[in-house]
Amino acid sequence: MANKSSDIVQGTLDMLILKTLALEPMHGYGITVRLEQITKGTFRVNAGSLFVALQRLQRAGLIRSEWKATENSRRAKYYILTPQGRKRLDSETREWGRQVAAITRILEAS
């Protein structure tokens, strides 16, 4: 278990959730595990922030939810990306790319 995990960069959690859900529908716990796996434990997600973000995305119509059974036949709420959410993810990804490139250029300039 990585001890040096840090909180997610402010304002990016929504985008990361959308990205996670773009692969397949997932429940809350699955999303945290997936995020931690992909980032190799760099990011850790607090349950409070996660569920607030999920509620926010749902109200914005970017994701929807339904109750389904998990592989361990437990009932869980699965979140599914809506077409709107997919569009938002695309635009946010592009925007993020531009910003990172810009910041990198600033940092690399002597």
Q: Where are the beta strands (DSSP E) in 1-93?
A: 26-27, 63-69, 75-81
- Closest contact distance (angstroms) between CB of 57 and other proteins is 11
Question: What does the alpha-carbon distance between residue 39 and residue 5 come to, in Å, rounded to a whole number?
Answer: 10
Locate 36 and state its tokens: 């931690």
Sheet with 63-69, strands from edge to edge, namely 26-27, 75-81, 63-69
Q: Which CB, 19 or 64, lies closer to other proteins? A: 64
In angstroms, give the least distance from the CB of 42 to other proteins.
14
Structural tokens at position 48: 């409070």
In the complex with other proteins, the residue whose CB is nearer, 7 or 95, is 7
Please report, as ranges, the residues that interact with other proteins according to CB under 8 A: 27-30, 32-33, 44-49, 51-52, 55-56, 58-61, 70, 72, 74-77
79 φ/ψ angles, rounded to the nearest 5 degrees: -105, 140
Choose between 58 and 93: whose C-beta lies nearer to other proteins: 58
CB of residue 95 to other proteins, shortest distance in Å: 19
Query: Would you say 73 or 110 has its CB closer to other proteins?
Result: 73
